[in-house]
């Protein structure tokens, strides 16, 4: 009887050992497969376009000074009329022109004006802004500002507030094609890496679209814009 039990125990132990060995093999194979799935490559794809701005914001500012407030305000009104006349003569309609509220500063009334009482007491300024989709018309008129100078209107151009802005508002029309191009470029980079590493490119693990950026092509042509986007894709690699 004891010999029979010993035989049964031996057979049971053999099955258990075989089962554990098989389980270990399967687990090892699973780890190898899992690690194989972790083999990835990350690639970036760039898409760029050069476009022409479709909106211009052109502020025309002039400054005046005088010791007589009534004379100063009359000059502001006169010169504003000259600027409006100039803009209309260059083809801009009243719906494209906005006349800002004139600003007048009394230097003697300034709290922190100090003891300097020289120069003019009153300083005034006025800004007339053109908002137009006629980009070439704005650029052409800007070259003719000397005509206003001949009439006594000194236009400021050094201040940040007087800087002409050229905007591009058609980004939504470009987005689909640019995203597709950036994705293709990223895939080409990933495929080359896969070939060089004797691997095959698998499915996408992760994809991230970068922010679209719009910038001037260069400082001399602010009406020409460069639109840019980068797509980042991570692919699985297979043998």
Give the pLDDT confidence score for residue 110 in this predicted structure: 73
Give the pLDDT confidence score for residue 1 in this predicted structure: 52
Q: Which residue has the tokens 């760029």?
A: 48
Give the pLDDT confidence score for residue 26 in this predicted structure: 42
Question: If the chain, 239 residues long, is cut into consecutive pieces of 10 residues, what is the mean pLDDT of each piece?
Answer: 54 55 44 55 94 97 94 96 97 97 88 60 95 97 94 82 92 96 95 91 89 94 97 90
151: tokens are 């009439």
Give the pLDDT confidence score for residue 162 in this predicted structure: 80
Give the pLDDT confidence score for residue 23 in this predicted structure: 44
51: tokens are 């476009």
Give the pLDDT confidence score for residue 118 in this predicted structure: 56
Rounded Cα gap, residues 97 and 87, in angstroms: 8
Give the pLDDT confidence score for residue 209 in this predicted structure: 85
Task: Please check whether the domain covering 56-166 is classified as CATH 3.30.70.2970.
Answer: yes
Rounded Cα gap, residues 182 and 190, in angstroms: 12
The fourth-level CATH superfamily of domain 40-54+168-239 is Protein of unknown function (DUF541), domain 1 (3.30.110.170)
Backbone angles phi, psi at 103, to 5 degrees: -115, 130
Rounded Cα gap, residues 86 and 148, in angstroms: 7
CB atoms within 10 A of CB 56: 24
Give the pLDDT confidence score for residue 220 in this predicted structure: 93
Q: What's the chain's length in residues?
A: 239
Assign 93 to helix, strand or coil: coil
Rounded Cα gap, residues 71 and 55, in angstroms: 37
| Ranges of each domain in the chain | 1-38, 40-54+168-239, 56-166
Fold matches, 40-54+168-239 and 56-166: no
Q: Which residue has the tokens 């690639």?
A: 43
Rounded Cα gap, residues 167 and 115, in angstroms: 45
Question: For the whole model, what pTM was predicted?
Answer: 0.76
162: which DSSP letter? G
């Amino acid at each position: 009887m004891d010999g029979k039990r010993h035989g049964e125990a031996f057979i049971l132990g053999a099955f258990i050992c075989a089962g554990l060995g098989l389980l270990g093999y399967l687990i090892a194979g699973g780890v190898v497969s899992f690690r194989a799935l972790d083999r990835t490559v990350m690639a970036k794809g760039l898409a760029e376009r050069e476009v022409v701005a479709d909106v211009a914001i052109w502020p025309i500012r002039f400054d005046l000074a005088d010791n007589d407030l009534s004379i100063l305000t009359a000059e502001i009104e006169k010169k504003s009329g000259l600027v409006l006349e100039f803009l209309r003569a260059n083809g801009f309609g009243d719906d494209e022109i906005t006349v800002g509220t004139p600003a007048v500063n009394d230097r003697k009334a300034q709290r922190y004006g100090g003891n300097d009482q020289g120069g003019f007491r009153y300083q005034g300024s006025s800004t007339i802004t053109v908002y137009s989709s006629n980009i070439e018309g704005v650029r052409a008129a800007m070259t003719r500002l000397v005509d206003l100078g001949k009439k006594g209107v000194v236009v400021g151009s050094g201040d940040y507030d007087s800087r002409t802005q050229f905007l591009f508002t058609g980004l939504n029309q470009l987005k689909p094609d640019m995203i597709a191009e950036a994705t293709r470029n990223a895939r080409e980079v990933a495929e080359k890496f896969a070939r060089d590493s004797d691997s095959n490119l698998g499915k996408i693990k992760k994809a991230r679209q970068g922010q679209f950026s719009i910038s001037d092509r260069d400082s001399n042509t602010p009406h020409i814009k460069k639109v840019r986007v980068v797509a980042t894709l991570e692919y699985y690699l297979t043998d």
